[in-house]
Structure 1
């Protein structure tokens, strides 16, 4: 879509890297109004637009008022979905343009795009389709918009923090037959395989292929390998293919569990405080119940404190099947913010 948008009277067109300054200005206005604690910088926006699986012409929409971007929407396709094809919507409207039908227009556009992609991809069209919208539980504007468009809450999330003050927690021993090592690129593929095994029983999980893993996990600008830790076996295993079978390369020990850390430079710039975020923490199913996660999390808290971070943080599904919420509370994390995911089946009448 390029040209005037019939629903809003605004100029419409896809996003591109040329839009990043205007996009950044829009997100800044949204954060100042909503105070959601969500900060982003130009590097992160450029990174998002560089996703090789994102079709900028078809999967993104910007609405302009002259040279000012006043709203945007992006639809992410759930490649590799296993049970339900849950398309992820990302959108925002400038505070000055709210309550004027722009949000509803963005939701309708995202539904149209998700429905088209769902029908066009054979591996997804065989599954039920949904569109997801995320936001803070206290965001009444989003709640009214979502409910008015036929969406219902389907999942709740706690964003938890742990102050890194006082004495460091005592180190915890690794389970027998394993050892904790810093993340190294030699373990990258083995870690991806471990993640796909660890999370296959979690809601909305789709296995990471190598492209998505590099885009969103270990290739992301926020990834902090120096803070990340792996629990590896001493006997080798599936991780032996982690270096793609290079001749003369010794086998890589299996990754039994992993903790991948992140840091948002935009958050640090906005708050003046450094936070070490637990982006991914998982244990292979065969290694559960042996203390893998506590050993890794304790190591992260000790390392982050020594590195000068002010806090550690993570996000947890409130109904995580592994009992993660209770584990994190026991480790000293407390709820800082709450978020909600709204969902609506694709191809259904909003009035039904």
Structure 2
């Protein structure tokens, strides 16, 4: 990050440095170790890290850092993206003050990134509700709990075929649909409390300019040639994943969301995926969690977003 100074110092035997493009696997390995300790399974891969680093506006080496032991082992990692801090400490090095250091550096960088005339600057961090150490750290630092995020899953041993509302023609994404799809996604997510609009180019980079982009997993529902619903899924090798599900307001309450979701499950099953998952947050006002539960999904993990205003 820009400055090596921090109001919180690293313990003896550790140092911080800016990552380089060659550190991708180092970061993946560290985050994987943390995931396995917390959840029993890894939840990140190389493509996830590369996509984050390729996000428009992200500055490699300024918006992230690695903490190493004197032996050269990566023991901590911090990344600032979209006003949110992602910070991890290796399970064997917790309780030494590394988390407090990463949090202080995150706040420092958030203030550096903010323009001088921006009156309010905030920072958020998402943690598992079972992570008592992180909860205590954030509570003590003056952060307040906000929205909950629920990760939901479903086994795909058997799938139910979709029933489409009258007048709807299901298909897949076609070149040239991207602007209309983005507009629909923003309309849908804009109904949620505290939604921050995502510019088209940023959304396109995050959703389409990745190795896991597969247009045949972007299911598009049309009525009178207008896109009225989409379910957008990356092509992950180990599980089906629903990244975004959107239904136009005028088409809600007709079963279109359920049909889109079930069509995604059918395609995942056809490709040999054993499970499917997604996340939904407590600020969602469209009844999405209830829809997912009706489709047979159940809660697997729960996260909470902690937030703090840094300025004024």
TM-score (norm. length: structure 1): 0.80
Map of 1:11-90 to 2, 5 A cutoff? 11-35=15-39, 37-66=41-70, 67-77=72-82, 87-90=83-86
SS of 1:203's equivalent in the other structure is coil
User: Offset of 1:150 from its aligned partner?
Assistant: 1.3
Q: Is the Cα–Cα contact under 8 Å of residues 143 and 307 in structure 2 kept in the other structure? A: yes
User: Offset of 1:319 from its aligned partner?
Assistant: 4.3
Q: Deviations over 1:154-184 (max 9, x none)?
A: 1112211111113x313312342x3111122
Gaps of 5+ in 2: none
User: Offset of 1:233 from its aligned partner?
Assistant: 2.7
- Aligned mates of 2:27, 2:105 — CA distance in 1: 18
Map of 1:51-200 to 2, 5 A cutoff? 51-66=55-70, 67-77=72-82, 87-120=83-116, 125=118, 128-166=120-158, 168-176=159-167, 178-200=168-190
Aligned match for 1:338, one of 297, 302, 310: 302
How has the CA–CA distance of structure 1 residues 3 and 206 changed in structure 2, closer, same or farther, with 3 Å as cutoff?
closer
SS of 1:12's equivalent in the other structure is strand
SS of 2:114's equivalent in the other structure is helix
- Aligned mates of 1:7, 1:200 — CA distance in 2: 40
User: Offset of 1:286 from its aligned partner?
Assistant: 3.1
How has the CA–CA distance of structure 1 residues 324 and 43 changed in structure 2, closer, same or farther, with 3 Å as cutoff?
closer
What number of residue pairs does the alignment pair up? 307
- Aligned mates of 1:254, 1:101 — CA distance in 2: 54
- Aligned mates of 1:156, 1:259 — CA distance in 2: 22
Gaps of 5+ in 1: 78-86, 235-252, 269-274
Runs of 4+ in 1 over 6 A off after TM superposition: 2-6
> Are residues 1:254 and 2:259 paired?
no
Aligned CA-pair RMSD: 2.2
TM-score (norm. length: structure 2): 0.90
> Are residues 1:307 and 2:271 paired?
yes
Q: Deviations over 1:217-256 (max 9, x none)?
A: 122333343222111232xxxxxxxxxxxxxxxxxx4321
